Amino acid sequence: MSCLPSVNRFSSRSWVYRFPLLAGLAFTGCIAPSPGTELKRTGDEIVVCGRMFHTGTSVVLWTDPFGYDAYRAEKRFGDTTSKNAKSDDGPTGQRYGTIRKHIPDELKATVRDRGWKLEELQDQVDLFVLHYDVCGTARRCFKVLHDLRGLSVHFMLDVDGTIYQTLDLKERAYHAGKYNDRSVGIEIANMGAYADRAELNKWYESQPNGAVIFNPPLTNGATGILTPDFLAQPSRRGLIVGKANGTQLHQYDYTEKQYRALERLTATLSRVLPRIKLEVPRDADGNVRTDAMTADELAEFSGLIGHHHLTKHKIDPGPAFDWDRVIGNARRLR
């Protein structure tokens, strides 16, 4: 191991900006790692503007084995839904944006020239948009989102609580229309909410003891769930009934592992991107709103938000999602 040269031996301080880790080592008198030394992840970090932040829960990055890479231009899965289709049918090319469209022109020019600094992103992102994927697993979600629809999202949360990050949060993922500019998005594995409860019988199986088991669909012959033999059960038993944008819906709850992982991710985001407040839209009585907000209301709001809050045509994350639990536990974790 060799010592890092002292700061006064450099003719320019530009290296301090370019290599903040080395700068920290220099100022503290620590020994710098030798060239070629591997710096290992612990497995719980998310990436924001190229910097890593711990979450305290399992995170698989797009660069990791079993990760899902939304930077790739080609499809992840080789097959298509049509037997007669070619393997390269479907969207290709870039499925995200590097520039958030609502930012001032001067900042756009700066970002195009040298990329995002964390402090700049912190000023621009103030929404964490929650979706359910109607796919049931992260593997199937990525196939539908990336391969078939040409869309993207920053995070996917599988039924076993594994978080997949597909893009650096500096990127403008395609998941929430015009609100992509202000937001980070997550797709949570869940088969969704339905007016006809019978729709859920395709995937959920009731047990003699009253429990319910979720049978995840296969995608290219596998569920993709990383936890071996994971038994996916709703955190709360029984169907949960509630409204979203005026429609009465039935939905099974998310898994306990999903809630715990999401609570830690939410706490992390609220610290790294502090304009994402630990709040959710509420009505005059303090209840979580089940309807879409007006443009003026959305312009004033910062925090966690459901897809159904952004447009009256959406109902996710559905009536089963426990907003108060996630926000309350995220506050305690901070």
Say which CATH number the domain at 101 has: 3.40.80.10
- The reply to whether 6 and 46 lie within a common domain is no
- The reply to whether 32 and 112 lie within a common domain is no
Q: What pLDDT does residue 10 have?
A: 35
Q: What pLDDT does residue 23 have?
A: 52
Q: What pLDDT does residue 1 have?
A: 41
Q: What pLDDT does residue 157 have?
A: 99
Q: What pLDDT does residue 299 have?
A: 97
- The reply to whether 185 and 73 lie within a common domain is yes
If 0-12 CB within 10 Å is exposed, 13-18 middle and 19+ buried, where does residue 168 land?
buried
Q: Are strands 240-244 and 183-188 parallel, antiparallel or unpaired?
A: unpaired
Geometric angle at alpha carbon 308, from 302 and 309, rounded to 5°: 30
- The reply to whether 35 and 124 lie within a common domain is no
- DSSP, collapsed to helix, strand or coil, labels residue 89 as coil
Q: Are strands 51-54 and 163-165 parallel, antiparallel or unpaired?
A: unpaired
End-to-end CA distance of the chain: 37
The closest of 266, 272, 267 to 125, measured between CA atoms, is 272
- The reply to whether 53 and 20 lie within a common domain is no
- The reply to whether 107 and 232 lie within a common domain is yes
Q: What tokens appear for 193 in the block? A: 């909410």
- The reply to whether 109 and 197 lie within a common domain is yes
List, for the chain, all residue ranges whose pLDDT scores fall below the cut of 70.
1-30, 79-90
Contact 196, 248 (CB under 8 A): no
Residues 232 and 267: their CA atoms lie apart, in Å, by 24
- DSSP, collapsed to helix, strand or coil, labels residue 172 as strand
Q: What pLDDT does residue 30 have?
A: 64
Residues 208 and 279: their CA atoms lie apart, in Å, by 39
- The reply to whether 13 and 57 lie within a common domain is no
- What total of structural domains would you count in the chain? 2
- The reply to whether 58 and 93 lie within a common domain is yes
- The reply to whether 85 and 2 lie within a common domain is no
- What values do phi and psi take at 247, rounded to 5? -100, 130
Kindly report, residue by residue over 48-86, the tens digit of the pLDDT.
999 999 999 999 999 999 999 999 999 999 755 544 444
Q: Are strands 212-214 and 204-206 parallel, antiparallel or unpaired?
A: antiparallel
DSSP class of residue 312 equals: T
- The reply to whether 10 and 141 lie within a common domain is no
DSSP class of residue 147 equals: I
Q: What pLDDT does residue 4 have?
A: 39
Residues 205 and 330: their CA atoms lie apart, in Å, by 31
Helix ranges (DSSP H) in the chain: 14-18, 20-28, 105-114, 118-124, 138-142, 256-272, 295-300, 307-310, 323-333
- The reply to whether 107 and 15 lie within a common domain is no
Q: What pLDDT does residue 92 have?
A: 79
In terms of residue numbers, what domain contains 19? Answer: 1-39
- What values do phi and psi take at 300, rounded to 5? -90, -15
Those residues with Cβ within 8 angstroms of residue 19's Cβ, 6 or more apart along the chain or in another chain = none
- DSSP, collapsed to helix, strand or coil, labels residue 201 as helix
